[in-house]
Amino acid sequence: MARTIAVSGTASGIGEALAGLLRDQGDTVIGIDLRDADVRADLSGPEGRARAVAGTLELCGGTLDGVVACAGVSDFTVLPVKVNFFGAVALLDGLRPALARAGAPRAAVVGSISGTHPVDDAVVRACLDGDEDAALAAAAKVEESGAGGRLYPSSKSALAQWLRRVCVTPEWAGAGIALNAIAPGVVRTPMTTPLFEDEAMFKVMNEAVPMPLNGYAGPEVIAEALRWLIAPANTHMTGQVIYVDGGAEATLRGPELF
């Protein structure tokens, strides 16, 4: 049976690949992005997040079978905290009532192997407290100190921790909504293109994310994993961060963590 799925970040990369897979199997996809989407909205601020939720609810008629938060940014500024954490959380929270009205609701987010890398504790703590002003103030200090490279990992670590905290609550599990994450390694998307073009950054990337199984992934690899997570067949998995990373997480953290 065809379903209606909201996907953010459909203008490119993983979100675009997932939207294509879902449409090919007969689902209706409501795409959310800055451009080239059914709902054009900027998830970096409260107004854009509210616009994304309202526009999606209008198009779906108040009921959604799935939501996937794919939209994300990667740089050394405060923007990843705005989009990757607060944008994703606002979208999922705002659309949760529409999910709860469906018969087999599913939700997923795109995390990252970088969530296992060093983070800024103050940024992560403020994110989990839901205090965006404090999170951005802490992130600005990190950026000014020259350690902005910790902000993307901080946003993804906070997102994974938020997911694991809320997934078993009455609002999510109690409503039958499975909520999980895919954590990719290095994926060839427009977001990662600069890393491949810069020799120094390319070396750093390979050291930070070793991928012994088949190397770098295409966006369709991550999209296929997300498609399964939000499938009706996924009846009992929730709160899981699934590493689709060519073995990077197992290499970096070893066999002791499982």
65-87 pLDDT per residue, tens: 999 999 999 889 999 999 999 99
pLDDT reported for residue 188: 83
Q: Which residues contact 104 (CB under 8 A, 6 or more apart)?
A: 65, 176, 232, 235
Angle in degrees, CA 37, 238, 98, rounded to 5: 45
| Greatest pairwise CA separation for the chain in angstroms | 52
The domain spans of the chain are 4-243
Mean pLDDT of the chain, nearest integer: 94
243 is catalytic: no
- Residue 106's H or E segment, with its range, is strand 106-110
pLDDT digits (tens, 9 = 90+) for 99-143: 999 999 999 999 999 888 999 999 999 999 999 999 999 999 999
| C-alpha count within 13 angstroms, C-beta hemisphere, residue 156 | 26
Rounded to whole angstroms, the Cα distance separating 249 from 235 reads: 26
Find the catalytic residue in 85, 152, 162, 243: 152
Q: What is the pTM of this model?
A: 0.92
User: φ and ψ at 219, to 5 degrees?
Assistant: -60, -25
pLDDT digits (tens, 9 = 90+) for 147-179: 999 999 999 999 999 999 999 999 999 999 999
Higher pLDDT, 245 or 98: 98
Taking the alpha carbons at both ends of the chain, their separation in whole angstroms is 36
Secondary-structure class of domain 4-243 per CATH: alpha beta
Q: Quick one: how far is CA 222 from the chain centroid?
A: 11
